[in-house]
Amino acid sequence: MLDLAELEDGSRELVCYEPMFIPGLLQTEEYATAGYRGGYTGASRVEQDREVEFRIRRQAVLTGENAPRLHAVIHEAALHMSFGDPEIRRGQLVRLLEAAELRTHRGSFSAFCTHCSREGEHVATGVAEVDVQ
């Protein structure tokens, strides 16, 4: 995961597709915590908390001085996943609406269909070219 965070940090553009969950870069801490608690039951609480903390720290790349453009494609199924209580889900939807207001973010939704990817999250990064002389 550290390699992904390093690529994200040096990118000009991030494109992510997430078929089942809200992309990690757009998750609230509460949503991420509920997801780890419900989905990673083999991991200890300490490991789960460490993963959530890392995920939230990764989000700083979106607000930095050289923040990359983000295009998130979110599958309709992700909006129907029930992590935590209704307040956690509401907070996550509010976070998506806030992200949509940022001019560096663009989002689109993929409706239910039979040909969608079953491979999980995909992230494409666009790395800035650096002229070293």
pTM of this structure: 0.75
- Do the domain assignments include residue 9? yes
- Do the domain assignments include residue 51? yes
pLDDT of residue 117: 53
What is the domain count for the chain? 1
pLDDT of residue 28: 95
pLDDT of residue 41: 74
Q: Which residue range forms the structural domain that includes residue 45?
A: 2-127
- Do the domain assignments include residue 117? yes
Which regions in the chain score pLDDT beneath 70? 1-2, 106-133
The answer to whether residues 100 and 92 touch, using CB atoms and an 8 Å cutoff, is: no
pLDDT of residue 12: 85
